[in-house]
Structure 1
Amino acid sequence: MFLDLPSDIVYHIVSFLSTASCVHNLALTCRRLHEIISAGNYRIFQAFVQSRFESIDVPPFWVDAARALTSRSRAFDRKAIIGRFVLPPQNARRIGHPRTVRTDHPTLGYRPVIDSYEVWCGNNWHSRKEVLVWGAGADLNIRVTDLSLYGKNNKREHRVEPDIEVARHRRSIGRSRDGVTWAVFNDLHGVNSWDDIAGVHAVPSTYGEPGTESEDIIFGRRNGSLLRMAISPGTGSSVLKKRYITGESNSLEKTDLSAGPQRLLAATLGRRAIAFFRADAEEDELQPLDILKTTAHGFARHKCSRLLCDERIAVGSDSAIDTIRVYDLTPTGVTRTRDFKMDDSDEGGLMRKSQVQTIEPLPVTSRTGGRAGDLFLAGWEDSKVRLHDLRSPKPYVSSYIDTVDDSLIYVIQPIGRECFLVGSGINATVKFFDMRMPNRYSYLDARPAPLHSQNHQNHHYRQTSNGFHNFQLQNVETPASEKILKDSLRYPRRDVSVFLSNRPPVRPSNRAPLFRDNLRYRGPIYTMSVPSPSSSTVYVGVEANVIRLDFASTDDITGPHRQWYEQNLGLGLDVDATAYADANAGIGNHLPVHSSSSSVRPFDLSCYERPLPEDRGKGVKLMMQHSLHKVVGSWERDGDGANQGRVPGWDPRWWQPLVKGKKRVRGRRTRA
């Protein structure tokens, strides 16, 4: 009877399937279902993508979209994170003034402000362009990447003789990468701290070939200058398009740009006022559309602000403790529409006052429902992240907390409505929080149900800070792997906090003292940016550096289907060259930075698994990563990536330093 159903009914049924492999297996049952499912280049995967990842907007390449999103979700579950520094090459094209002289002597490194985007330029998933811009003091660093070419000259061929392979690695590391165009813009000669870039926004553009067309960039300096320029990293040209007049203010704290069709630009002036501009207005010099005075009693200043949509902004100020004020921009002016005031007691019933530190709206799609700006996350001074809903009379509808670290929250970065990342104020910590509801996608559902479990309870519940999630216990083919899977589901899965305390690679011209090699970065995470909701990369700004975090499982990028991941995820990661570089770098040493090696070599991360609130801080699991070359070597040697020392439920790169009284150092176990 199922075979007699019309195509639209089959299409509707597919939207309820839990995994992409279920759709694939359904297509293998008979010829008619295969014809229905494969029609229109497997367009039926649209139902799966839009039902399981409803908060993620993707282009209509549905098969690749399903694979990319399920791979990223699996990597997030397994904490499969690859960390690398993003370093401009020394031969990057300079645009503007050929030489900039610093007239002051800052004691700390710059605080990067970052923006990025990616757009599709062709008729397949990997034909897309990614643009990354960040303010590095008074300089504006620009990187344009054609992801259809990125890392193509480093693709691995079949392994031959060891000597030939080593020689090939040496040539690969010294080469510049294809598809990447770098530029550094600065139109000033003498600069000081007041010329530092305080806000930057890359306006998406799809015209021309990646790297040759001009990038539309809005950036503001601390001295109050706020400009929109067309800068071409490929040709070295720059044209002033608009100037936003900030008045007599000579202190620009930050800028904000909404993502709607009528983009609104907000400029925070000395933390005492917010000026609003229509970013795409036709005039060359734009006066503020309106100005919101945020001072109270003549001295209080607003703590933070964030545009929720094209006509709404949320503000937290020094004068309003435990309060977020929401304003609407109307033709008659700025009007206050809602106050989110926290109760005098927190969830535990204890008296505690706090101020909001950062605000971030959640994305809205046609499938999530609601209006833009209805939902937003706020990081509070009590180290809790709360989800606020303008449609609810409650002050907040959910809260998230790190049960170990109560440091200040500097930045929040949502990834759709799947999860969000929090940048901590100390110890270079990025905290991961899972927001997925019980019906969300889980890679574990792709495993076949065990025959022996049909007469047993086969559901496992895990509790997080925002409710219960349901998992179905799945079977695997071998007893060893079945034990790993059962062990990974035996205890509630917890979120993690990752340390980004690694030092960047040493440039050949760097004359820093040798004792600095042992120092670790312990400062804040200042900013984060995601190129698109479907991207596997998050860019993180720390003091004087930018780090990229890629969500990609090790067995994906080293396994039998590695070519698809190399081509479509845009990682630009030559696993073989990375293995060679890591194998020749001693512990505590850094290889010199070359145009390609700095973007190829991942560094090893460490993290801890956070206990649940009911655990009262007990059971913190500390984890560290193996070097990538060790895992690659294990895969090449064993054929299936088997690793007896792997931690259940974690990516193969992770290992636990202390296990049941035995001390494990870099993969070797010794008695404590």
Structure 2
Amino acid sequence: MLSNLPIELLSNIVAYLPNAQTIHHLSRTCHALNAYVQKEGWKVFCRSNFPSIYLDADTDWQGAAQALTAASRNWDRRAFLARYLEPSGSVTDVTTWKPIPKWRRPRGQTMGYRPVLDSYEESTGPSWSARREVLAWSAGASLVVRVKQMGPEIADFFDRSSPMERDFYYDDRGHMISWFTYAPPGSQQGRDDITALRVLKPHQKDPQDGPADKFIIGTASGNLSVLNIDLSGHTRKVTTTKFETNGRQIRSADTSSSTSPLLSAVLDDADITLYRIPSGNDTSTVSAITDIPKLGSGFTGRVWTTSFLSNTRLAVSLGPSLAPLRIYEVGCDGIAQDPLRKFGLKDGIYDDKVEEATPTPRNTSSSTVYPIIPLPPSSQASRAVGELFFSGGFDGIVRLHDMRSPQNYVSTYADPAEDAAIFSLISLGRERIVAGNSRNCLIKVFDLRMAGGRIYHYLNATASQSETIASPAPKHPPTVDWNLFMNPRNLTSSHNTTWLNRWTRRTLESPVYSLSTPSFASPSLFAGVENNVVQLDFVSMLDRHPDPVFNPQLQHGRRIPRYGPLDAGRIWNPRGQVLEFAIERWGFIRGNSRGGMSGG
């Protein structure tokens, strides 16, 4: 009998089961196996099929299995709901802690603001859907923050609320929404625009901060500071800690992932500065640990971004240059003055003596790199954190670099029809990367896995549910990359007349300036385009078992019918805010590839 086997053997068996439905059927065979599945079975399934998603030991594993399988299925099917985000309902100006009747976009400039995004989420209860999500973005000289609270307890409050309260405090999924805005005293649009933004994650918060969140903002006027804001409103206080910049413009900033994080910032066009982020509410000015001015006397380009590959390595993107990607060691004394490694963008091995013999402006091999992101630590393709990372270039190609290889890059990801520059990058676990284009309001989704490297696929579950199968579902379906044009086709409808303004028309051809996701387990992706932020929720309107976060059963009796017609608009789009986008599928292009990634 299975129920008599030791837990270790049962776990080995469960690790090979193809889908969550099989685990569910196993739990219904007897009380002993039901107890095993609830305690260990779902955990084994999640960790075996989705190894790139790190979850705590006390996670609701059954809810996690439902959420992760739904998200994987919807990414493969390209099933999502998209909408523009704008503060409405409960909006508070944290400068005065007074409510704002109506939030207004920044005005007085010839173009819309360029949002910089960051976000995170944290668990707030035993249920998978009980979580708190914080999203922050820059709107000109102002900081906009959205706090979303979800879970069964919030659903109970929603059910007891009046229709007016539901429209004011909740979104159309029944999640409690609170908006906050902050503009530094005396700031002016255009002069003090926020150009860099980072939000410290929950594990990086100091116990002295209490419930306060820390936001690091850098402005075009040279102000770099940490804001301590208690978004719960208990203290109604904003504490500011400034970093010493000598009035130099802030181009970009990044923080390390350690519990005592470091801050790297690009000042003016070529100065790289490193700071220690103070703990608690220390308001004294923070001096730089180290400063690399102009990247040496021979550098004539511009530094675009810095990115921590690990706590001890910092990647710098620049250009135009023959070596637009450089890696620096970070130690107790700051950043090493000389790079540990330089990468070019052409095939072969970069050689300082050969490549830099010709002046950069005249050499056709010079190029520019914009975003850099490391491969997640869960990847088994590297021996240590920070050895593998991606870069997005001016030529529209995403490259995978390996610190262990002498080659400039080991793999490339490109769109055969669109070669515009890559302005933003984000990894979704070790399975996918999403690239933001410099034109056409376009994002590109690349699947990093080879055809045989997929651990979980929804077609396996579909095949097991069929009574008769004429042709079995493919075990490893071919990889297909795809594009998403965030150009709404339904802005002329009566529900969306609010968005018809001159800024939205400019948005249609906007670059995708930034991308963010709260966590690898989150079904949401945020994209910053000109004067707007787009939220993409990967959930299917036809899914009878969606992510518990979106489960309509939590919302005053709105249920997906088991049989009969489905009123998708009433369930998924009651406020008429969902946008209609166009998608393009195409075969992948891989160059100089040494293998694929495996994952969930």
C-alpha distance 507-264 of structure 1, shift in aligned 2 (>3 A)? farther
TM-score (norm 2): 0.79
2:215 alignment partner, SS class: strand
C-alpha distance 570-281 of structure 1, shift in aligned 2 (>3 A)? farther
The superposition leaves residues 283-325 of structure 1 with CA deviations (integer Å, 9 ceiling, x where unpaired) of 5321111112325436332243312122211113226325421
1:555 alignment partner, SS class: coil
Looking at structure 2, the residues matched to 434 and 298 of structure 1 have their Cα atoms a distance apart, in angstroms, of: 36
Q: Map of 1:647-666 to 2, 5 A cutoff?
A: none
Match of 2:311 in 1: 310
C-alpha distance 563-62 of structure 1, shift in aligned 2 (>3 A)? closer
Looking at structure 2, the residues matched to 136 and 402 of structure 1 have their Cα atoms a distance apart, in angstroms, of: 31
Q: CA offset at residue 150 of structure 1?
A: 5.5
- Judge conservation of contact 1:113–1:135 (CA < 8 Å) in 2: yes
The superposition leaves residues 445-501 of structure 1 with CA deviations (integer Å, 9 ceiling, x where unpaired) of 1134689879x8x574xxxxxxxxx52xxxxxxxxxxxxxxxxx7xx5522111112
1:418 aligns to 2:431 (yes or no): yes
Match of 1:433 in 2: 446
Q: Which amino acid aligns with 2:92?
A: R
Q: Map of 1:450-489 to 2, 5 A cutoff?
A: 460=474, 470-471=475-476
TM-score (norm 1): 0.71
Q: Which runs of 5+ in 2 are unaligned?
A: 350-363, 561-566, 591-600
- Judge conservation of contact 1:272–1:295 (CA < 8 Å) in 2: no
C-alpha distance 513-311 of structure 1, shift in aligned 2 (>3 A)? closer
Looking at structure 2, the residues matched to 366 and 613 of structure 1 have their Cα atoms a distance apart, in angstroms, of: 22
Looking at structure 2, the residues matched to 549 and 204 of structure 1 have their Cα atoms a distance apart, in angstroms, of: 21
Looking at structure 2, the residues matched to 441 and 127 of structure 1 have their Cα atoms a distance apart, in angstroms, of: 25
Looking at structure 1, the residues matched to 122 and 219 of structure 2 have their Cα atoms a distance apart, in angstroms, of: 27
C-alpha distance 390-22 of structure 1, shift in aligned 2 (>3 A)? farther
Match of 1:531 in 2: 518
- Judge conservation of contact 2:346–2:365 (CA < 8 Å) in 1: no
The superposition leaves residues 602-637 of structure 1 with CA deviations (integer Å, 9 ceiling, x where unpaired) of 1111111124449xxxxxxxxxxxxxxxxxxxxxxx
C-alpha distance 581-391 of structure 1, shift in aligned 2 (>3 A)? same
- Judge conservation of contact 1:93–1:233 (CA < 8 Å) in 2: no
C-alpha distance 80-571 of structure 1, shift in aligned 2 (>3 A)? farther
Q: Which amino acid aligns with 2:539?
A: A
Q: Map of 1:559-638 to 2, 5 A cutoff?
A: 559=544, 561=545, 564-567=548-551, 579=569, 597=575, 601-613=577-589
The superposition leaves residues 87-108 of structure 1 with CA deviations (integer Å, 9 ceiling, x where unpaired) of 1016611122689999993100
- Judge conservation of contact 2:89–2:169 (CA < 8 Å) in 1: no
The superposition leaves residues 522-578 of structure 1 with CA deviations (integer Å, 9 ceiling, x where unpaired) of 11000011111100001111111111001111222xx3x469453599999989998
1:58 aligns to 2:55 (yes or no): yes
C-alpha distance 101-606 of structure 1, shift in aligned 2 (>3 A)? closer
Looking at structure 2, the residues matched to 367 and 612 of structure 1 have their Cα atoms a distance apart, in angstroms, of: 23
1:239 aligns to 2:238 (yes or no): yes
Q: Which amino acid aligns with 2:424?
A: V
- Judge conservation of contact 1:103–1:191 (CA < 8 Å) in 2: no
1:299 alignment partner, SS class: coil
2:403 is matched with which residue: 390, 399, 404? 390
Q: CA offset at residue 153 of structure 1?
A: 6.5
2:257 alignment partner, SS class: coil
Question: Aligned residues: percent identity?
Answer: 27
Match of 2:132 in 1: 129
The superposition leaves residues 577-609 of structure 1 with CA deviations (integer Å, 9 ceiling, x where unpaired) of 9825999xxxxxxxxxxxx94xx7211111111
444-453 vs 198-207, greater mean Cα deviation: 444-453
1:337 aligns to 2:358 (yes or no): no
Looking at structure 2, the residues matched to 511 and 532 of structure 1 have their Cα atoms a distance apart, in angstroms, of: 31
2:169 alignment partner, SS class: coil
Q: Which amino acid aligns with 1:250?
A: R
Looking at structure 1, the residues matched to 443 and 114 of structure 2 have their Cα atoms a distance apart, in angstroms, of: 16
C-alpha distance 607-394 of structure 1, shift in aligned 2 (>3 A)? same
Looking at structure 1, the residues matched to 115 and 555 of structure 2 have their Cα atoms a distance apart, in angstroms, of: 22
Looking at structure 1, the residues matched to 557 and 343 of structure 2 have their Cα atoms a distance apart, in angstroms, of: 45
Q: Which amino acid aligns with 1:380?
A: G
Q: CA offset at residue 129 of structure 1?
A: 0.8
Q: Which amino acid aligns with 2:201?
A: P
Match of 2:194 in 1: 197
Looking at structure 1, the residues matched to 155 and 534 of structure 2 have their Cα atoms a distance apart, in angstroms, of: 18
- Judge conservation of contact 1:85–1:504 (CA < 8 Å) in 2: no
Q: Which runs of 5+ in 1 are unaligned?
A: 157-167, 461-469, 472-488, 584-595, 615-672
- Judge conservation of contact 2:307–2:372 (CA < 8 Å) in 1: yes
Q: Which amino acid aligns with 2:550?
A: E
Match of 1:83 in 2: 82
Q: CA offset at residue 131 of structure 1?
A: 0.7
Looking at structure 1, the residues matched to 554 and 292 of structure 2 have their Cα atoms a distance apart, in angstroms, of: 42
Looking at structure 2, the residues matched to 141 and 575 of structure 1 have their Cα atoms a distance apart, in angstroms, of: 33
1:176 is matched with which residue: 169, 180, 194? 169
Aligned length: 544
- In angstroms, what is the RMSD of aligned CA positions? 4.1
The superposition leaves residues 78-131 of structure 1 with CA deviations (integer Å, 9 ceiling, x where unpaired) of 000110111101661112268999999310001011111111122221221111
